[in-house]
Structure 1
Amino acid sequence: MNNRNKILVFGMTALMVVNAPSYAQKKPVAAKKPVQATSKTAGTLIPNDPNVKIGKLPNGLTYYIRKNTEPKNRAELYLATRIGSLMEEDNQQGLAHFTEHMAFNGTKDFPKNDMINYLQKAGVRFGADLNAYTGFDQTVYQLPIPTDSAMVFKNGFKILANWAGKVIMDGEEIDKERGVIIEEDRQRGKNAQERMSKQLLPLLLKGSRYENRIPIGKIDILQTFTHDKIRNFYKDWYRPNLQAIIAVGDFDVNEVEQLIKANFSELTNPANPKPRLKYDLPDNKEPLIKIITDPEQAYNVAQIMYKQRGSVSKTTADYKKKLMYSMINSMLGARLQEILQKGTAPFIFAQTNYGPYQGGLVSGINALQTTVAAKSAATLEQAFSAALAENERMSKYGFVQSELDVAKKNIIAGSEKQFKEKDKTPSSSFVQQYLNNFLTSSPIPSIDFVYGETQKAVGSITLAEVNALVKTLITKDNQIIIIQAPEKDKAALPTEAQMLAAVKNAGSGVAAYVDNSVNKPLLEKKPVAGKIVNETKPDAIGVTELTLSNGIKVLLKPTDFKNDQIIFSSFSKGGTSLATDQNFQSVQMVSLIPESGVGAFNPTQLDKLLAGNTGRGGAYIDDLYQGFSGSASPKDLETAFQMVYAYATDPRKDAEIFNKNIDDYKVVLANKNANPTSVFSDTVQAVLSSYHKRAMPMTLEDLSKVSLNEAFAFYKDRFADASEQTFVIVGNFDINTIKPLIETYIASLPALNKKQNYADNGVRSPKGKISKTVYKGLEDKASVELYIHGDYDFNELNNTQLEALKAALEIKILERLREKESGVYSPRVSLSVQKYPDAHYYFNISFSCATANVEKLVAASLDEVSKIRTSGATADDISKFKSEEQRQVELSLRNNGFWLGYISSRLKNGESFDQILNYKKTLDAVSVESTKAAAQKYLTDENYIRLVLMPQK
């Protein structure tokens, strides 16, 4: 298994661990008027889309029904409830979420696991398709289901009705599920983020019911509550007047309405229903501030929030203001990105956004939220002040017209794309609108209305209006300031007084922003076009192959799956495998070359140049290949091809951007060992590659050897000869129309006509049995990675047998470790296969658990492997595998991304294009006996790797 070092992505803004946006509640209070609302700017009410049928049963249950044929023969069925952890009594904390779990553990019409078994046999995947979540004020069940089977489709509504009012709450099942939920808490938490969140929540939710109603609940209550507590919760709150059915898909609307009436009319409300109260998050006049440190926190992060009251956008005036907020976010974000590219940037991460408070933590509360990460504790105050200065620059001087023009063009382009795809909009896209309408009374505008109103609103928005709105974002009250930092840096952190002073003095001396746009075309002149020298139609999947005068092959697959989408990628052999041992460290950072922009344009300037244009193209270099990729609306395809030509012939060598990225990466490498997961990940990477020097995690010493000149030279060399590139283009295009663009920008790419290949540098996983335990971490949490791997004959039949084994093993591991042992939350079984540079397969079983259960659960996992090796997969599990595979193929066949990947993979691996046409025949070859034979050959203990992360001793 080849592993490459990848630059870590900062996730500094994830301060909370909650499942969904929800209301903060404690006691009833009078509703407060939204700020900035005036009768003069009220606008007109946004009308609901006439294509959705909205109704209500006599018992109060609401329903939303919409016919939509993308994807065909599929429907999205949802049960939405205005029920969450805020409804819990003190002795029920965690039981709203627990109830959601119990809905899958036995109902009146589907005892035990019958529901999951039934749906899996219908091709519905548990977790990936069938799922649910619980938040503070909502619990939502989702069921994507086929409609081409009348019985399965009808039973989908029976399942929703069972969730809504017929969950059994068997005592034995309740007790078995306790461990699963405790393991869910362990899997998601027991880390620095959770520990810091526990200190932050009293500050972020001060004075609200939220503070004591985190959805996961309290562990002591989950372990000890009596069965009547959860049964009472279900009886009190799962009632039709708090529920809605959402059905969107390829079906008859009247038939669905009758199914809803037949299945849900019998549900009743309690005689004396508990009131569902609304609550509010109190204001704070003085700033609230908190400095939190943790031994496993990797970075020095500061954040400020300016809370404001918001309201649901119900009028055209509200919608116009929403667009202006979106413009403000994009313009300020562009400014911060521009600073981040400079060597003088005082932060390694910076983000400012106006929107829902903490991602929707408290309904009805918005905030301007700024987050920065500094290189060290000593520079945190400087980084914080620099980000605040940009807020103040915006507030004092506003934006300039050229910035607003860019933001407007991008909004119009997005709206146009949505409008052009209106008849190809997936059903899942409509569900969230209807869910928001049920939960918050937000409107359901049609795509036509949104398009027309966006054009109108964007056209009327002036710079003066936007700059007036930005002055309302920074408030003197409702401020919250937070620092999160490594424990070791505690002494060097700024004090609370210093942070408050930074806020008070923010922006003193700032000047107005100066736009640095480059006013020139992407290409100074069109390249000298090449020619198409040959054209064939080699297969039965609708592909046309062109051979160009420079040797490049282009495979074209026109489709009608999307109205406004063309995607493409290319490849030729080589990649970073051709790096020498001397320049390998530099080559590992070669991705920074295309990330630095192209030609005369740095990334910020390039974004401004391409405002309103959907055409995008870029270059990549991975382990074995180099090539190009991109996407565009049909009207902008020329721009995407121009970018390909530019990245091939005029890459940008920007020392400032390159060195700034290297300096930031040094901070990442210097701090990453504080995080147990990072340490464990590095160990997994090292062990799986047999500690080969070309596959080891990058170190600070490696980074010190990185040279821009070497990385740039390698990039230039890899794209100096495009003669062996193969392009695959998929989407809504006319072959005759696209040919001139291909000749101009693809057939003109440089060609030296060399024969090239990648190098096999001997990176291999270790043979035999390997066991390694890493001791890192403060809490009772273990992570387990088990690998069974080996060499094999890479072909379609073997790969399908391996997939069947993987599916069967995944079912058994879930049943054993979660349902029977109650020892894990979501164990994962994965399979990866590769043909080059060596044909190899990897089965991986992974889970987290209590440290005391590691040996028991590893043994249970290997026992399930042994059972499959002895007897093969069961007929039942094979049936589930075949159904799920068939359903996924049906969806994939109408997906541009699938075809791009499928054609590219067949070409790279030298396989026939007609595999997909024969997939049913290949599936038919899977049987109990075939999986037994495959398991005995591939699920052996000959090459077995056991890796475990345990808390430090």
Structure 2
Amino acid sequence: MKIKTRGRNRLIALLSFIIAAPLLVPPALAQNSDNDKPQTKTVKEINQDANPLPWLYKGSDVPVDKSWTFGELKNGLRYAVKKNGVPPGQVSIRVRVDVGSLMEEEHERGFAHFMEHLTFRGSKYVPDGEAKRVWQRLGATFGSDSNAETTPTQTVYKLDLPNANRESLGESLKIISGMVSTPGMEQASIDAERPVVIAELQERAGPQTKLQDATRELFFAGQRLATRSPIGTIETLNGANENTVQTFHQRWYRPENTVVVIAGDGDPSVFEALVQQHFSNWKAKGVAGTIPDFGKPEETADSSRVVIEPTLPRFISMVTARPWELVDDTIAYNQQILIDLLALQLINRRLEARARAGGSYLQANVNQDDVSRSIDGTFVSIVPLTEDWEAALKDVRGVIADATANAPSQADIAREISEFDSALAIGAESYATEAARKQADDIVNAVDIRETVATPKSLWMFFAQCAIYIRRRGSCPQHENCLKVRQPAHY
């Protein structure tokens, strides 16, 4: 099961080689004194100069990544396109539909994933199995270059098309538009694909899945995520028929629930024209679905669970679960995230030091994630050094308790910020050579977690002043000043 996270994890994902990118400080800014006056315009005011804001940035003062072109069709479908020549000649297409296993009714468990399978069988423009052959002829390999994934909160169709030109892109987008708007949902197709999906379910029924299911049921008790793995159940998959599958499709596969992302070695105006050509005539049928309440964490007497599986290593996982809340993805929100990430990194440093100094665990770490729009959780993971897992648990809890009681030194804080500074500098320099498929995925994930995307340079800029205060004083007493954007000359 793939679980999507938001917020703190989004910042980590932007620069996968560091732990907390936002803390980095541009050298040019780090030399400024506390009395330097920032420019009078705030980021929000700068964004308003480009009124109206792109759909991804509405309600946010995060600087817009202007390398992307955003648009919306009359039928409600949204899109984002960008020229990116890495690698040369390739274009990456992502089509995201706002439906996953958390939107399924009890008798529909597994339907979102089942629908993903059915879309590849055949559709309005191609007969059963022909789409794969077309993309193979165009140089795309099924599984690596063309694929799809279903999570608790979204379904994403992916195509990385090598040696792309207007004709091959047009043919590909035509096929994909037919797949999502009018897939083959006849009973014969359902009966043919059902054994494939059930076989996939049975192949996954191993020790790791047993552990994942038990963890999910415990951590998300009382919520939909506790029992709704995207793969579904044999009972609900066997119960799928032409009527129930079509009803599910009409409820969720709608233009207003769909985002098309194209990034690659081509003209963005051509990308826009092709989206308009192949998706503008899509009209939804039936009654639109309403995203259900995913539930809140609940207190339960069953606060722990032991899973016995000899083939898996000994492992302890804990969570402190808080209700997930939709927030505006603002600079202030991200500044609080960076403070959280700094605290987590300082705790993880102490955990690592304790392990090296003779602790009873091999590895331990703390992280904080908002999971599948379900919980805001603080997670602790522990790998005991021996069979005495209770000693390892006691050891880790002692380190965490000490970290909450004894503040880090300024030297510790300065060390972390220095490391982040070097890492974000690399991220800012390498953004122009980042692969198109990665940047397309970033847009899709931002939509899924209901947030925006920001370039490493933007992160560097609007977190710089706050990081300076943290480094020099251990806090940010002049928070209002931290919301101002400085504009270094070399930008």
TM-score for both structures, normalised by structure 1: 0.42
1:288 Cα shift? 4.8
1:295 Cα shift? 4.2
Counterpart selection for 1:374 from 366, 381, 384? 384
* Aligned residue in 2 for 1:465: 475
* Aligned residue in 2 for 1:445: 454
Aligned partners of 1:197, 1:298: CA distance in 2, in Å?
Answer: 12
1:392 Cα shift? 0.9
State the superposition RMSD in angstroms.
2.4
Please tell me the residue identity of whatever aligns with 2:216.
Answer: L
1:9-88 alignment runs, 5 A limit: 18-21=1-4, 45-88=61-104
Aligned partners of 1:367, 1:349: CA distance in 2, in Å?
Answer: 20
Q: Is the 8 A contact 2:225 2:294 kept in 1?
A: no
Counterpart selection for 1:115 from 131, 137, 149? 131
1:338 Cα shift? 2.1
Q: Percent identity, aligned pairs only?
A: 21
* Aligned residue in 1 for 2:203: 187
1:175-324 alignment runs, 5 A limit: 175-191=191-207, 193-284=208-299, 288-309=302-323, 312=327, 314-324=329-339
Aligned partners of 1:365, 1:198: CA distance in 2, in Å?
Answer: 17
Establish whether residue 161 from structure 1 lines up as the match of residue 177 from structure 2: yes
Aligned partners of 1:43, 1:253: CA distance in 2, in Å?
Answer: 26
Q: Runs (4+) of structure 1 moved beyond 6 Å?
A: none
Question: Using a 3 Å threshold, how does the CA distance of structure 1 residues 233 and 317 change in structure 2: closer, same or farther?
Answer: same
Post-superposition Cα deviations, 1:382-440, rounded to whole Å, max 9, x if no partner, equal: 11011011111111112222221121112111211121123212212322332134234
1:278 Cα shift? 4.2
1:203 Cα shift? 2.1
* Aligned residue in 2 for 1:752: none
Question: Using a 3 Å threshold, how does the CA distance of structure 1 residues 91 and 122 change in structure 2: closer, same or farther?
Answer: same
Establish whether residue 408 from structure 1 lines up as the match of residue 408 from structure 2: no
Aligned partners of 1:147, 1:447: CA distance in 2, in Å?
Answer: 29
The structure, 1 or 2, with the larger RCO (C-alpha pairs under 8 Å, 6+ apart) is 2
Q: Which moved more, 1:295-304 or 1:170-179?
A: 295-304
Question: Using a 3 Å threshold, how does the CA distance of structure 1 residues 90 and 392 change in structure 2: closer, same or farther?
Answer: same
Aligned partners of 1:383, 1:352: CA distance in 2, in Å?
Answer: 14
Counterpart selection for 1:345 from 338, 359, 362? 359
1:588-599 alignment runs, 5 A limit: none
Aligned partners of 1:298, 1:450: CA distance in 2, in Å?
Answer: 40
Q: Is the 8 A contact 2:124 2:179 kept in 1?
A: no
Post-superposition Cα deviations, 1:670-711, rounded to whole Å, max 9, x if no partner, equal: xxxxxxxxxxxxxxxxxxxxxxxxxxxxxxxxxxxxxxxxxx
Q: Is the 8 A contact 1:313 1:443 kept in 2?
A: no
1:309 Cα shift? 4.4
Please tell me the residue identity of whatever aligns with 2:380.
Answer: T
Q: Is the 8 A contact 1:301 1:374 kept in 2?
A: yes
- Aligned partner of residue 316 in structure 2, secondary structure: strand
Please tell me the residue identity of whatever aligns with 1:184.
Answer: E
1:213 Cα shift? 2.2
- Aligned partner of residue 474 in structure 2, secondary structure: helix
1:484-633 alignment runs, 5 A limit: none
Q: Is the 8 A contact 1:43 1:318 kept in 2?
A: no
Please tell me the residue identity of whatever aligns with 1:352.
Answer: V
1:471-490 alignment runs, 5 A limit: none
Question: Using a 3 Å threshold, how does the CA distance of structure 1 residues 46 and 77 change in structure 2: closer, same or farther?
Answer: same
Aligned partners of 1:181, 1:292: CA distance in 2, in Å?
Answer: 30
* Aligned residue in 2 for 1:456: 465
Aligned partners of 1:147, 1:123: CA distance in 2, in Å?
Answer: 8
Q: Is the 8 A contact 1:313 1:319 kept in 2?
A: no
* Aligned residue in 1 for 2:431: 422
Report which of the two structures shows the higher radius of gyration computed on alpha carbons. 1
Establish whether residue 99 from structure 1 lines up as the match of residue 115 from structure 2: yes
Question: Using a 3 Å threshold, how does the CA distance of structure 1 residues 212 and 295 change in structure 2: closer, same or farther?
Answer: closer
* Aligned residue in 2 for 1:739: none
Aligned partners of 2:211, 2:458: CA distance in 1, in Å?
Answer: 44
1:634-783 alignment runs, 5 A limit: none
1:371 Cα shift? 1.9
Please tell me the residue identity of whatever aligns with 1:216.
Answer: I
- Aligned partner of residue 124 in structure 1, secondary structure: coil
Q: Is the 8 A contact 1:415 1:454 kept in 2?
A: no
- Aligned partner of residue 103 in structure 1, secondary structure: helix
Structure 2: runs of 5+ lacking an equivalent: 7-41, 45-60, 477-491
* Aligned residue in 1 for 2:25: none
Counterpart selection for 2:142 from 119, 123, 126? 126
1:223 Cα shift? 2.7
* Aligned residue in 2 for 1:365: 375
Aligned partners of 2:437, 2:410: CA distance in 1, in Å?
Answer: 37
Aligned partners of 2:113, 2:431: CA distance in 1, in Å?
Answer: 36
Aligned partners of 2:455, 2:215: CA distance in 1, in Å?
Answer: 40
Please tell me the residue identity of whatever aligns with 2:63.
Answer: P
Question: Using a 3 Å threshold, how does the CA distance of structure 1 residues 270 and 231 change in structure 2: closer, same or farther?
Answer: closer
1:43 Cα shift? 8.9
Q: Is the 8 A contact 1:22 1:138 kept in 2?
A: no
Q: Is the 8 A contact 2:68 2:80 kept in 1?
A: yes
Aligned partners of 1:249, 1:299: CA distance in 2, in Å?
Answer: 42
Aligned partners of 2:463, 2:328: CA distance in 1, in Å?
Answer: 14
1:73 Cα shift? 1.4
- Aligned partner of residue 361 in structure 2, secondary structure: coil
Question: Using a 3 Å threshold, how does the CA distance of structure 1 residues 434 and 108 change in structure 2: closer, same or farther?
Answer: same
Aligned length: 423
Please tell me the residue identity of whatever aligns with 2:404.
Answer: S
Aligned partners of 2:3, 2:125: CA distance in 1, in Å?
Answer: 29
Aligned partners of 1:148, 1:293: CA distance in 2, in Å?
Answer: 49
Q: Is the 8 A contact 2:254 2:283 kept in 1?
A: yes
* Aligned residue in 2 for 1:151: 167
* Aligned residue in 1 for 2:151: 135
* Aligned residue in 2 for 1:931: none
Post-superposition Cα deviations, 1:233-255, rounded to whole Å, max 9, x if no partner, equal: 11221110100101111111112
Structure 1: runs of 5+ lacking an equivalent: 1-17, 24-41, 467-953
Aligned partners of 2:298, 2:106: CA distance in 1, in Å?
Answer: 25
Counterpart selection for 1:172 from 161, 185, 188? 188
Q: Is the 8 A contact 1:68 1:248 kept in 2?
A: yes
- Aligned partner of residue 324 in structure 1, secondary structure: helix
Q: Is the 8 A contact 2:120 2:131 kept in 1?
A: yes
- Aligned partner of residue 306 in structure 1, secondary structure: strand
- Aligned partner of residue 121 in structure 2, secondary structure: coil
Aligned partners of 2:359, 2:294: CA distance in 1, in Å?
Answer: 42
* Aligned residue in 2 for 1:396: 405
Question: Using a 3 Å threshold, how does the CA distance of structure 1 residues 296 and 247 change in structure 2: closer, same or farther?
Answer: same
Question: Using a 3 Å threshold, how does the CA distance of structure 1 residues 364 and 84 change in structure 2: closer, same or farther?
Answer: closer
- Aligned partner of residue 465 in structure 1, secondary structure: coil
- Aligned partner of residue 433 in structure 1, secondary structure: helix
